Structure 1
Amino acid sequence: ERDLADDATEPTLGRPFRLVVDRFDPSTASRERVADALSRGFAAAGRAIFRSREGVETLYETTAACPEHGPVIVGELTPRHFSFNSQIGACTVCQGLGAARAAQIDRLFIAPHLPFWESLEPRAAAALGRSARGRALIERVLGRESKRPVSKWSDEMRTRVLDGTSDVVSVQRAGRWGKSKRKVAEEKAWPGLLTTLEAGAGRMDWLFAEGPCRACKGGRLRPAMLAVTVSGEGIAPFTARSVDSALEAAAGWHFGGEAGVIAERPLLELVRRLGFLSDVGLGYLGLDRAADTLSGGESQRIRLASQLGSALTGTTYVLDEPTIGLHPRDTDRLITTLEGLRDLGNTVILVEHDADTIRRADHVIDLGPLAGVQGGSVVASGTPAEILADPASLTGRWLSGAERIAPREGLREPRGWITVREPRGNNLRGGVVRFPIGVLTAVTGVSGSGKSTLVLDTLAPGIRMLRGAGGEKPAPMAGVETDELPDEVIVVDQAPIGRTPRSTPATYTGVFDGLRRLYAETPAAKLRGWEPGRFSYNIPGGRCELCEGRGATLVEMHFLPDVWVTCDACGGRRYNRETLEVRWRDRSIADLLAMRIDEAVELFSAHRVISRPLRALADVGLGYLTLGQPATTLSGGEAQRVKLATGLTSRQGRALYVLDEPTTGLHLSDVAQLLAVLHRLVDAGHTVLTIEHHLSVITQADHLVDLGPEGGDAGGRVVGEGTPAAVALLDT
């Protein structure tokens, strides 16, 4: 609370406070004085509060409001009111993002079994205790609870301390009249511990993290819009549902009379569009899922669902591996959807490796015979049956069974177990999940069943935490135990290895360092006094300065996506003319970066430091790439295999390898090559854990953990575990 006459009590920006505009005796005050006080209150905050000597408060608002739920809307509701991209509807605190930086309770109270001041993180305790008045205010709010452990507080007390209270608390402060040391009473409203600390967020970054907006609780909209319900459900809880759950709820809505007439068309459209999302295998996705958390395959299928709603005909659709990340059951539903597009009179062209999808195509064009410079030719074209019968088609030989992965003979015995207790992240339903150590384990299940949450968000961070390696905090669980602590946890996912042309397979695997040292040892380089840094395109000196060593320049297209164009000065070779004059075996360093990995393996066979990572890249099926291939041109599957190759050569001891669908983008013949690498890792003493849908990998595993039975809220449980043969007998 701030008195206008007290200039010493400056409010802190962003913190709530009360402004005292007048004090008077209602029995003697004139109507003009009362009206003036109201006017000043309305002008300052749009509301005014009369508080009696007894502490009874009466609130007056200039806008329509419900005493229990806050502001209400007066006037006609429009779709813009329920859009978080509109100023009319978006939450005024988070601007419609649904999230904001906020103090984290678990970082604030590091010892909740102790009383308030003792349980606080030392830096927070120091910040709160700097001001005697601030400390006194907290003590008055805590009252007798100041001596009780924080963990024993009631929910009401916890809310009061953390989020504040509208009750006015009286504290003592020093007077300011001459040399008087008198204490005077000051009435203040407690804004809450979190608000108090947020005012000093710049000095306490350690306390803050991205979390749900405290104003809209993640709902993204203003309170008035969040209060609107349809069949008793607001828009925020409805959009928090999965697609399948929302479809079931919307299909059950029935309205009579005038409401039924109004709702008929929008409700029909809502059910249709939710049905399209479900048909393309996205029934497990939450409607409020952020776009930047979607995989490439999920984003592509969402765009496909939007096209289904348009019901266009005579259109050509081109899809790049739409079955990525799909369980075989979901793949069948997707193919049926694509056949429906075809039957409407459209042309559907797929780039695809999935055997079931290829078999159900009307026409197949097989390129090859191999990859890279050894490919690019049409080796077969025709119906699936004609492709299977063509001996020139590698795809046909794999589909017909002429080429196949040999079945396993015997399974490895685990040398211990990793146990995850009560995992509760996202849709996981708890229980105990066990993973064997020293074998190849595949985690399976329909799309959205919780595989990534269990493995990538719970298990891997949990083991890192046991090792004291830091990193991301695990998803909620009771704990993780292991009979053998791995020397390293290596997560191989599909995130890019770089976002600019500077990053290449050579730089990521460390091959580039060896090449630079090799060129620095040549007579021409020594004569000029050049060090290895001269042959780096990441620093000035030897690089082309027009493109700054990228080999390409970024052209802004304004209303279109920006594009990389080959540099006019160096022709994409990255270096200046003087640097390219230094040659090793009659090749400049630019010539080597343009060389295929398969060729480089032979060329550097006598240089172990360079040849080992190159051999690993070839072993994971990337021999067709060039050493200097820009990271921006690599697919997610290629980036993942570059990371796997790096792990094959640079790690020592026994590691835990965690792979996220490593067969993405792989031909059946490449899958066989990948499996050989995974078996090699396990035979070397490592533990390999892979999230996978590909049946060839699943049948080659030593152990399976199957999640389900469905995706989203209907998943998250272990429905089968054991050897592939044992799980095959289960009804999952």
Structure 2
Amino acid sequence: MSRNSLFLDIHGARVHNLKNISVRIPRNKLVVITGPSGSGKSSLSFDTIFAEGQRRYIETFSAYARHFIASLERPDVDRITGLSPVISIEQKSVNRNPRSTVGTITEIYDFMRLLFARASDAYSHVTGKKMVQYSEKEIIEIILSRFAGKRIRVFAPIVQGRKGHYQEMFEQFRRKGFLYVRINGEMTELKYGLKTDRYKSHFIDLLIDKLVVADHEHDRIRESVSLAMKQGKGICCINDMDNESDSFFSRYLMCPDSGISYNAPAPHTFSFNSPHGACPQCNGLGYVNEADISKVIPDRNISIAAGAIQPLGKYRSSLIFWQLEAIADKFGFRLSDPVKEIPDEAMQIILFGSDETFRLTRSPLGNTSSYFMAFNGIINYVISQQEENNGKRSQQWSNLYVSRKQCPACNGSRLKPESLYFKVAGRNIAELSAMTLSELKEWFAAAGSEMTPRQLAISKDILKEINARIGFLLDVGVDYLTLNRSADTLSGGESQRIRLATQIGSKLVNVLYILDEPSIGLHQHDNIKLIHALKKLRDTGNSVIVVEHDRQTIMESDFVVDMGPYAGMKGGEVVAAGTPEEISKQDTLTGRFLSNPKQLPIPEKRRKGNGNQLVISGASGNNLKNITVTFPMGTMICVTGMSGSGKSTLIKQTLYPLLASRLHRAALTPLPYASVSGMEHIDKVIEVDQSPIGRTPRSNPLTYTNVFNDIRKLFEELTDSKVRGFKAGRFSFNVKGGRCETCRGSGVMTIEMNFLPDVFVTCPDCNGKRYNNETLQVKYQGKTIHDILEMTFNKGVEFFENIPQIRKKLAVVQEVGLGYLKLGQPSTTLSGGEAQRIKIATELMKKDTGNTFYIFDEPTTGLHYNDILVLLNTLNKLTEKGNTIVIIEHNLDVIKYADYVIDLGPEGGKRGGMLVVQGSPEKVSKNEDSITGKYLAAELYGVYDVKTNN
């Protein structure tokens, strides 16, 4: 191998804020790219290296094939050499398809379907007994031995519990020479015109033969059984005439007592994405959507006229309210009466409708007219909007008033009932899918002892693949997940680690993998497992690049690329590159952090709160075990625990929906809990996550924070604007009037190249300034509206020094560490951490009552330790105002800074869900049952070893 092929060389990279950088990265190594948020890590790894690898892959396709594939923009880089095929595993690409599960993503469920199709035992859903299947030879041998010397009838089962008159069928049998049929247990001669009651269900058997069983009748029995199997489509029935009992035999799977038969199982029998296996009621989703009366009428103390029925709103002159008035007239109440005083019969009609008609009287233009109409009901209308394809807006509207309920037909298993009666070692496929991965590993290890030699021989290779894939998942720390866990409920970190395990299982070599902070959502206890998994990927002959801030991952890597020195325009450079030990000796933000990991502060004094408490009792959703948790108000609280211990269940799925529905009438349903107290001390609840602040490049920090409104109003007040008659709307690039219509305010033109990537060129009319010339004639202190959008927040604070309303708001964004961002920077280019801090800044701009309950889910995601300092200072400001901050977090630097810690566990999944300890970080660190406490004790009292994280 030549020396050049040992390295991945990037020359002259200028994507986003990268400053024409060049860097040499060793191949077949575990490489970490780190640095402050906004320093250019993702620009180098994903937007340069991965983008170029993806573009080269697409270029290998024929011109015809490329015509049907979305074209890829060439990254702004001089050249890249030594680039292997690239696979990107990002947090952003979470699978939101509710039909995808952990089992389908990892392909374990596919192997399990194959296992059940080839090596399962079938059981009758009528008697519960094991089903059997025979060849014709075996059936004859059983008849000769079991019924020797007995009188028997040989029947061909024709109809099993179906309605109809069957006159034509009877006539066909009569013409073929058959003499008798058995209808619902009664022998009946096949006469001309015979028929049954078409509206009743029937069991019909065709008589094939009647004889006494003896060895010399072997040929006759064989011919009779063969004819019965032919007429009965593989099934025959032997009736013992002495006691009138039936025995069923089939070449298919059949219950010998009831005659129920199944087709031979195939992999699709166990697929909830196939009509052969999916539950017909929920179509394989495992849930159904039902209108929720508590969401339709959240407050029964107010009247219909005042808006008690949420889908209708307040009274207005419209047909539906005229109908409601007619119902009110009939039942003697008024629409201004509280809902709780309306008669139950009337409420049933209002909600669910009635076939009864009601008289409507209207007097348009003085002419009185009356007519009668039935009322369909509010619930039925909501459901119709949910089920009918009336557009995205109608779906979003109806979603406000429905709740997801477990499918009553399949109990959430997603499968047809008969699919669940195939079992391997006594378990059906839904039961196995509901086990945690660690439990499933143990079950498969023991299952072989309950299989027959034939089943073991068939399933040997299948079990090997299943066990290997489960092992890879355990290696990346997701042992608490179940195979039936829907993909749309996974966090970004969980989804990424699952795909990492899948890639390890694929056994590809000579591939470059790029991962985006795989340690997100992972407890320190499981972090070393993840690092071992990354090394396993490397050791199989691949290159692994990880964008990461975790100290342990950095120190365990082979090579580190440190980006910086700061963020935004002050970043975009490679400030250091080398081994972790070499980086720790550099005078950079990362170097100082690695050489002195204990520099993040521990508060000298922890807040006790304002004396009030929020207490939620009996929380039992998902894996929570009826726990009672206390939240001291006016403090910073960390909720900790192993991955899968119940943190998100408690905070995001129970507490937040509970508070939001009570305080803001949000259409959210919390998971089960017994009671809550202390809500009177809270004015509002706000969840601040890392989701994007905008979905299009037209959204930016100014528009999200509403500061752009103030700036546009400032331009409206300028003399030049008044002379020209310009209003604030003139300075928006999203509406006609002031924007450049050639590019519609985007600043660029897209030129389609058909077989080549689309080319984006600066708009020739506005030169990328988004506005037309007339709008750009208006200036404030020599700056146009475009010039202001190009400023950073740091520059904006100086520029608007004399406009306090604008300066104060820009300063808040500066204080949360985002002064490097441009005022008009597209939201789509912001990282998750940057988006979250924009949201925090927006909250800080608002008038504060001091009684707000804030919820953060791992706010340190994507943050360098220097950014964590800024975040902690920001959260501290919110807390000092009297607010309560609740943070779901694994980062020990944040946990040790908190006033109060709620630790769940002790482990994840079924071994979690309990309250291990709650109190100060010091109290948690001394609790022997707390896994978090052991790591926290090292932070608070221990000596740190940067290599081992001990």
Category of TM-score, reference length = shorter chain: 0.7 to 0.9
User: SS of the residue aligned with 1:412?
Assistant: coil
> Cα distance, 1:413 vs. partner?
1.4
> Cα distance, 1:62 vs. partner?
9.5
Q: What residue number does 2:284 align with? A: 96
- What does 1:385-534 align with in structure 2 at a 5 Å threshold? 385-391=581-587, 393-401=588-596, 404-415=599-610, 416-467=612-663, 469-482=665-678, 485-534=681-730
Comparing 700-709 with 285-294, greater Cα deviation is found at 285-294
- What does 1:185-264 align with in structure 2 at a 5 Å threshold? 201-202=383-384, 208-254=402-448, 255-264=451-460
| TM-superposition CA deviations, 1:443-492 (whole Å, max 9, x none) | 11111111111112222232334435434122210121117522221111
Once residues 259 and 286 of structure 2 are traced to their aligned partners in structure 1, the CA distance between those partners, rounded to angstroms, is 19
| TM-superposition CA deviations, 1:618-677 (whole Å, max 9, x none) | 222222222222222222222211111111111420211111111111110110111111
| TM-superposition CA deviations, 1:90-127 (whole Å, max 9, x none) | 3334333333323558779999xxxxx99969543456
| TM-superposition CA deviations, 1:665-696 (whole Å, max 9, x none) | 11101101111111111112111111111111
Residues 574, 590 of structure 1: 8 Å contact kept: yes
| TM-superposition CA deviations, 1:485-532 (whole Å, max 9, x none) | 222211111222221222211111111111111222223322221110
Once residues 487 and 63 of structure 1 are traced to their aligned partners in structure 2, the CA distance between those partners, rounded to angstroms, is 70
Q: What residue number does 1:672 align with? A: 869
Q: What residue number does 1:275 align with? A: 471
Unaligned 5+ runs, structure 1: 1-17, 42-46, 52-60, 112-116, 134-194
Change (3 A) 1:412 1:198: same
Once residues 841 and 758 of structure 2 are traced to their aligned partners in structure 1, the CA distance between those partners, rounded to angstroms, is 29
User: SS of the residue aligned with 2:817?
Assistant: coil
Q: What residue number does 2:895 align with? A: 698
Once residues 584 and 426 of structure 1 are traced to their aligned partners in structure 2, the CA distance between those partners, rounded to angstroms, is 57
Once residues 598 and 298 of structure 1 are traced to their aligned partners in structure 2, the CA distance between those partners, rounded to angstroms, is 36
> Cα distance, 1:547 vs. partner?
4.9
Q: What residue number does 2:312 align with? A: none
For residue 501 of structure 2, what is the amino acid of its counterpart? A
Comparing 228-237 with 400-409, greater Cα deviation is found at 400-409
Change (3 A) 1:684 1:438: same
Change (3 A) 1:68 1:542: farther
Change (3 A) 1:200 1:107: closer
Residues 596, 626 of structure 1: 8 Å contact kept: yes
Residues 164, 201 of structure 2: 8 Å contact kept: no
Q: What residue number does 1:682 align with? A: 879
> Cα distance, 1:252 vs. partner?
2.5
Residues 298, 665 of structure 2: 8 Å contact kept: no
For residue 101 of structure 1, what is the amino acid of its counterpart? N
Q: What residue number does 1:336 align with? A: 532
Q: What residue number does 2:275 align with? A: 87
> Cα distance, 1:304 vs. partner?
0.8
Q: What residue number does 2:845 align with? A: 649
Q: What residue number does 2:262 align with? A: 73
Residues 615, 628 of structure 2: 8 Å contact kept: yes
Once residues 570 and 833 of structure 2 are traced to their aligned partners in structure 1, the CA distance between those partners, rounded to angstroms, is 20
Once residues 68 and 276 of structure 1 are traced to their aligned partners in structure 2, the CA distance between those partners, rounded to angstroms, is 45
> Cα distance, 1:578 vs. partner?
3.1
Quote the RMSD (CA, aligned, Å).
3.9
Comparing 694-703 with 605-614, greater Cα deviation is found at 605-614
- What does 1:113-124 align with in structure 2 at a 5 Å threshold? 123-124=347-348
Once residues 69 and 554 of structure 1 are traced to their aligned partners in structure 2, the CA distance between those partners, rounded to angstroms, is 69
For residue 275 of structure 2, what is the amino acid of its counterpart? Q
Q: What residue number does 1:183 align with? A: none
> Cα distance, 1:554 vs. partner?
8.4
Q: 1:130 aligns with which of 354, 368, 371?
A: 354
Question: Are positions 1:363 and 2:551 aligned together?
Answer: no
- What does 1:607-626 align with in structure 2 at a 5 Å threshold? 607-626=803-822
Once residues 856 and 831 of structure 2 are traced to their aligned partners in structure 1, the CA distance between those partners, rounded to angstroms, is 16
| TM-superposition CA deviations, 1:8-40 (whole Å, max 9, x none) | xxxxxxxxxx988699999999855444766xx
| TM-superposition CA deviations, 1:156-189 (whole Å, max 9, x none) | xxxxxxxxxxxxxxxxxxxxxxxxxxxxxxxxxx
Once residues 546 and 520 of structure 1 are traced to their aligned partners in structure 2, the CA distance between those partners, rounded to angstroms, is 24
Comparing 405-414 with 358-367, greater Cα deviation is found at 405-414
Once residues 336 and 448 of structure 1 are traced to their aligned partners in structure 2, the CA distance between those partners, rounded to angstroms, is 20
> Cα distance, 1:266 vs. partner?
1.0
> Cα distance, 1:424 vs. partner?
1.2
Change (3 A) 1:203 1:591: closer
Question: Are positions 1:661 and 2:851 aligned together?
Answer: no
For residue 724 of structure 2, what is the amino acid of its counterpart? R
Residues 442, 698 of structure 1: 8 Å contact kept: yes
For residue 424 of structure 1, what is the amino acid of its counterpart? S
For residue 637 of structure 2, what is the amino acid of its counterpart? T
User: SS of the residue aligned with 2:896?
Assistant: helix
Once residues 704 and 338 of structure 1 are traced to their aligned partners in structure 2, the CA distance between those partners, rounded to angstroms, is 31
Q: 1:288 aligns with which of 484, 497, 509?
A: 484
Higher relative contact order (CA 8 A, sep 6+): 2
For residue 100 of structure 1, what is the amino acid of its counterpart? V
Residues 604, 611 of structure 1: 8 Å contact kept: yes
Once residues 420 and 516 of structure 2 are traced to their aligned partners in structure 1, the CA distance between those partners, rounded to angstroms, is 39
Once residues 673 and 285 of structure 1 are traced to their aligned partners in structure 2, the CA distance between those partners, rounded to angstroms, is 34
Q: What residue number does 1:162 align with? A: none
**Larger CA Rg, structure 1 vs 2:** 2
Once residues 813 and 540 of structure 2 are traced to their aligned partners in structure 1, the CA distance between those partners, rounded to angstroms, is 44
Residue identity (%): 43
Change (3 A) 1:31 1:354: farther
Residues 107, 121 of structure 1: 8 Å contact kept: no
For residue 250 of structure 1, what is the amino acid of its counterpart? F
Q: What residue number does 1:147 align with? A: none
- Aligned length in residues: 632
Once residues 548 and 433 of structure 2 are traced to their aligned partners in structure 1, the CA distance between those partners, rounded to angstroms, is 33
Q: TM-score, normalised by structure 1?
A: 0.78
Comparing 257-266 with 66-75, greater Cα deviation is found at 66-75
Once residues 370 and 289 of structure 1 are traced to their aligned partners in structure 2, the CA distance between those partners, rounded to angstroms, is 40
> Cα distance, 1:426 vs. partner?
1.5
Q: 1:730 aligns with which of 924, 927, 932?
A: 927
Residues 110, 119 of structure 1: 8 Å contact kept: no
Residues 459, 480 of structure 1: 8 Å contact kept: no
Once residues 102 and 564 of structure 1 are traced to their aligned partners in structure 2, the CA distance between those partners, rounded to angstroms, is 48
User: SS of the residue aligned with 2:528?
Assistant: helix
Residues 645, 904 of structure 2: 8 Å contact kept: yes
User: SS of the residue aligned with 1:252?
Assistant: helix
Q: What residue number does 2:784 align with? A: 588
Residues 353, 380 of structure 2: 8 Å contact kept: no
Residues 109, 120 of structure 1: 8 Å contact kept: no
Once residues 236 and 564 of structure 1 are traced to their aligned partners in structure 2, the CA distance between those partners, rounded to angstroms, is 50
Q: What residue number does 1:713 align with? A: 910
Comparing 350-359 with 496-505, greater Cα deviation is found at 496-505
Residues 70, 224 of structure 1: 8 Å contact kept: no
Residues 401, 667 of structure 2: 8 Å contact kept: no
